Amino acid sequence: MSGRVTRFEQSATQGPTTVDRIHADEFDDALADVLEGPAVGAPLPFEGVSLPQDVTRNPTPRELRNARIGVTPVGPAVADLGSVVVRSGAEGAEQISLYPDTHVAVLAASDIQPTIADAITEIGARVASGLTSAVLATGPSGTGDMGSVVYGAHGPSSVHVIVLEDR
């Protein structure tokens, strides 16, 4: 398991993504370290982990657009590429991961799969039982259209993954 986390970390940090490996009981501190400016979030489904008060749940459109940080759960993830899957339902993880400048992605280590094919198999099973939105995201949004590579085109300009090693 920790081999897979290491592999994920190596792949993800080859690009501009940052990764923090922690235990669930360290989550509040780890998140506090990266919270800066207004933050919005989708509920975290990991045992013993929850969003602090200063992260706005169920944001209004204005709050969403003004947020600097969006915190969402992600999973599965792909060790080979450092990708994470944003699954979205009514709580709006899709928009929350997409509109703010920084996406803070919270991932359970047990959700890391080796390859894209493995992740797709898992997504496929969830789509069959009603999941309608799953985005395999690797690093921040980017564009080369304006003369050189720029991070943060329409989506976040940085991505920070918090891996819960004991989840």
Partner 1 sequence: MSDAEQSTGATRGRSSSRAEKAARIRELLATEGEQIHGNVSVFNEGRYRRYAELDETEEYRAASRRIKEESIDRLPELIEEVTATVEANGGVVHLAEDASEANRILNEIVADAGAETVVKGKSMTTEEIEMNEALADAGVDTYETDLAEYVLQLADESPSHIASPAIHKSKAEIADLFEETFDPEAPLETAEELTAFASDQLADRIAEADVGITGANFITADTGTLALVTNEGNARKCIVTPDTHVAVAGVEKLVPSMEDLSPFFNLIGAAGAGQDVTAYLSLFTPPVETPAIDFEHPDVEGFGEATDREFHLVLLDNGRMAMREDEDLRETLYCVRCGACANSCANFQEVGGHAFGGETYSGGIATGWEAGVHGMDSAAEFNDLCTGCSRCVDACPVNIDIPWINTVVRDRLNEGADPSTFDHLVDGLSPDSESSGIGLGKRLFGNFETLATVGSRTAPVSNLVASSSIARRVLERVAGVDRRRELPQFARSTFSTWFNAREDVTIENPTRRVALYPDVYTEYIDPERGKSTVRVLEALGVDVMVPDVGGSGRAPLSQGMVTTASESAEAVAEALTEPIAADRDVVVIEPSDLAMFKREYERLLPEESFERLAGNSYEVLEYVYGLLEHGADRDAIAGPETAVTDSSNGERAIAYHSHCQQRTLDLEPYTVAVLEAVGYDVVTSDVECCGMAGSFGYKSEYYELSVAVGDRLRDQFTTDDRDERIVVASGTSCGDQLDSLLDRDSKHPIQLLDPVQQ
Residues 68-127 that bind partner 1 (CB under 8 A): 81, 83, 88-95, 98-99, 115-117, 120-121, 123-124, 127
Closer to partner 1 by Cβ: residue 22 or 116: 116
Closer to partner 1 by Cβ: residue 12 or 164: 12
- In the complex, the smallest distance separating the C-beta of residue 129 from partner 1, rounded to whole angstroms, is 11
Is residue 67 a contact residue for partner 1 (CB under 8 A)? no
- In the complex, the smallest distance separating the C-beta of residue 159 from partner 1, rounded to whole angstroms, is 9
Of 37, 42, 120, 24, give the one whose Cα is nearest residue 76: 120
**Alpha carbons 135 and 93: distance in angstroms, whole number:** 10
- In the complex, the smallest distance separating the C-beta of residue 47 from partner 1, rounded to whole angstroms, is 22
Closer to partner 1 by Cβ: residue 87 or 167: 87
Residues 2-61 that bind partner 1 (CB under 8 A): 14, 42, 58-61
- Interface with partner 1: number of residues (CB under 8 A): 56
Please pick, from the candidates 24, 34, 35, 135, the single residue that binds partner 1 as defined by CB under 8 A.
135
